[in-house]
Amino acid sequence: MPDSPFDQHRYQVRHDWGIEGLRRLAHADVVVVVDVLRFSTTVTDAISRGEIVRLDADAHAVSINGAAVAEAAAQSGAVVLLGCLRNAAAVARAVLDIQHERAARTSVAVIASGELAGREPGARLRFAVEDQLGAGAIVDALGDLGVDHTSPEAAAACEAFRGLRGAVRHLLTAGGSGQELLDRGARDEVLNAAAVDAASVVPVLRGGTFVAY
C-alpha cells in the first residue's frame, strides 16, 4: 500500500484512537493498547496478582473498544501490550527490551481506545480524557528512555500528560468515564486507575491470553 499522510510512517512512536486509528497507522512492531477505565488497568492489576486474562467473549463484554483494538493488533502480527497510567514507565521499559531483543529500530503505535457513545452497533467513538492521559504518559516514558522520535500526534498527547500530571486524579474523577463509574459507586476503582507508575507489570498478549511480559 502507498504511504498515507495520516499513517505516521515517518515516526518511530505513533498515536491514534480506536480500531480505525490502528488501521490508519502504518504497521508497527509493537502496539500499546490504552484503555485506562477500565480494560488496561483491570488486566494489569489482575496479572499483578498472578492471574492470566483471556482475550475472549468475556473480555469483549467488559471493554468493547480495548479488546477489539488488542485483537486487531494481534492479527497484524504486532507485539500487543496493554498500557495505562499505572504501568506507563514499565511499558516503556518493555518496549526498549523488545527493541534490544530485535536488535533493530522498533516502531510503536500507542492506541488510545476511547469509549463508545452507547453500546449499539455503529456507535461513534467518544474521546476519553483518561486514555489521552494514559497514552501521553507512555509516550513521555518512552522519551525518557530515548525512544523519542514521535509523531506530532504522539507529541501532543505527551505534552498533555506532562502539563496535567499534577491534576490526573481530579481529571479522571471529573471526566465523563470517571463520573459514570462514580455514579456506580466505583470511586476507588477510578482513583486506583489514576495512580501513575504504581505497577511494574506489563500485560502482553500471547496465544489469545494476556500474561506478564
Helix axes 39-48, 64-75, angle to 10 degrees: 80
* Structure confidence at residue 159 (pLDDT): 98
- Write the CB contacts of 195 (distance below 8 Å, at least 6 apart in sequence): 85, 86
How many CB atoms are located within 10 Å of the residue 129 CB? 20
Number of residues assigned to the chain? 213
Per-residue pLDDT, averaged over 158-178, amounts to: 97
Whose CA is closest to 164, among 83, 85, 81, 66? Answer: 85
pTM score of the predicted model: 0.94
Confidence of residue 66 (pLDDT cuts 50, 70, 90): confident
Q: Any idea where the domains of the chain sit in the sequence?
A: 13-206
Report the mean per-residue pLDDT for the chain. 93
Question: From CA 204, how far away is CA 178, in angstroms rounded?
Answer: 26
**Under CATH, domain 13-206 is a member of which superfamily?**
ComB-like (3.90.1560.10)
Radius of gyration of the chain (CA): 16
52: confidence class by pLDDT, cuts 50, 70, 90: confident
In DSSP notation, the chain reads ----TTS-TT-SEEEEEHHHHHHHSPP-SEEEEE-TTTHHHHHHHHHHTT--EE-SHHHHHH-HHHHHHHHHHHHTT-EEEEE-STTHHHHHHHHHHHHHHHTS---EEEEE--EESSSSTTPPEE--HHHHHHHHHHHHHHHHTT---B-HHHHHHHHHHHHHGGGHHHHHHHSHHHHHHHHTT-HHHHHHHT-TT-----EEEETTEEEE-
| Distance in angstroms between the alpha carbons of the first and the last residue of the chain | 32
- Residue 211's pLDDT is what? 96
C-alpha cell at 48: 499483578
The arithmetic mean of pLDDT across residues 108-121, rounded, is 79
